[in-house]
Amino acid sequence: MAGGEFSFIARHFGPLAGPEALGLKDDAAVLAPTPGQDLILSADTLVENVHFFSDDAPDLIARKALRCNLSDLAGMGARPRGYLLTIARPNAVPDSWFARFANGLATDQEQFGLSLLGGDTTASRGGLVLTITILGEVPHGRAIRRDGARAGDDIWVTGTIGDGALGLLARQGGVPDPDHYLTGRYLLPQPRLGLALAGIASSAMDISDGLVQDAGHIAQASQVSLTIRTAAVPASDQARALRNVLADRWLPLCLSGGDDYELLLTCPPDHSDAIRQAASSARFAITRIGSVSQGKPGVELLDEQGRRFSLSQAGWQHF
């Protein structure tokens, strides 16, 4: 590590470091795990012009990167503990960019209660590449996994579905977004941390790839069939306002578009009150959208009349 790197790290990231980071001066962080807790670990790489645009606000890039990882913790029922950050940076990115980037991290560190544990900066020959490895904790044996859905369970989602995909489309100028709500949902997702899932949900995950695809992940991991009543899937007022504008494209975008960062979970029916209560305590909306059954692992979509249909990029069709 060259002297300039030390200065760069100390200036921008020193203020973000928790005590476990040893001032970002050692090669590694030293963390005392909380006794009786399991550690939850997730790593994601974000690439310029793949996951974010070069002209996105640096503080929002930082916050979204952190929030996507926090959302992975939320999907396991964990609380955040800290994160490591590596940055491969082209020479062209100015110091002021990183000052704003670090400000964004500081904002969300405070909001979500975690600190920087360590990391690395290096040169990039291509665009900017960011990797966050996040650590969370959950009481031993109580992490919620994808493979616990059972026939007879109900399917639930937090918040509203489709805002992320519609927000991206709005940002690209494809649809109006008069109050910037959808764009905001895309740029700054809200990780659903703090929902007490242990002992209530049989499986859970965060929705990053789109509701239908992520439901498929639970179906595959749990070897069950998930049936979703699409008319029950909650949409925001702003999303519903685009229904006529987008016509047949609306439903596929909402159900498959991704970037929602809501939670998808399954619960036995006798835990319905408990999950509603947990959501109420966390101040999240929660909606029952379907049920789990035995059968070929996969996802079945039902329309308002209970007829099965399938999605495609162009729209949807009945079987």
Which residue from 10, 31, 188, 196 is in contact with a second copy, where contact means CB under 8 A?
31
- The stretches of 85-229 forming alpha helices (DSSP H) are 95-112, 163-171, 181-187, 211-222
Strands lying side by side in the sheet with 263-267: 203-206, 263-267, 154-158, 286-293, 225-229, 298-302, 308-312, 315-318
Show the site string, 70-109: x = touches a second copy by CB under 8 A, - = not.
--xx-xx-x-----xxxxx---------------------
Residue closer to a second copy, measured from CB, 191 or 290: 191
Q: In terms of Cα–Cα distance, which of 86, 64, 65, 83 is closest to 9?
A: 86
Residue 56 in the binding site for a second copy (CB under 8 A):
no
Which residue from 147, 307, 308, 312 is in contact with a second copy, where contact means CB under 8 A?
147
- Using DSSP, state whether 127 is helix, strand or coil: coil
Q: Tell me the C-alpha to C-alpha distance, in Å, between residue 170 and each of 25, 175, 212, 242, 285.
A: 43, 5, 22, 10, 24
Residue closer to a second copy, measured from CB, 33 or 113: 33
Residue 54 in the binding site for a second copy (CB under 8 A):
no
User: One-letter amino acid identity for 3?
Assistant: G
Shortest Å distance, C-beta 3 to a second copy: 9
Show the site string, 156-195: x = touches a second copy by CB under 8 A, - = not.
----------------------------------------
Question: What does the binding site for a second copy look like in residue numbers (CB under 8 A)?
Answer: 1, 22, 25-33, 35, 37-51, 72-73, 75-76, 78, 84-88, 117-120, 122-127, 129, 131, 133, 135-136, 138, 140, 143, 145-147, 205-206, 208-209, 217, 220-221
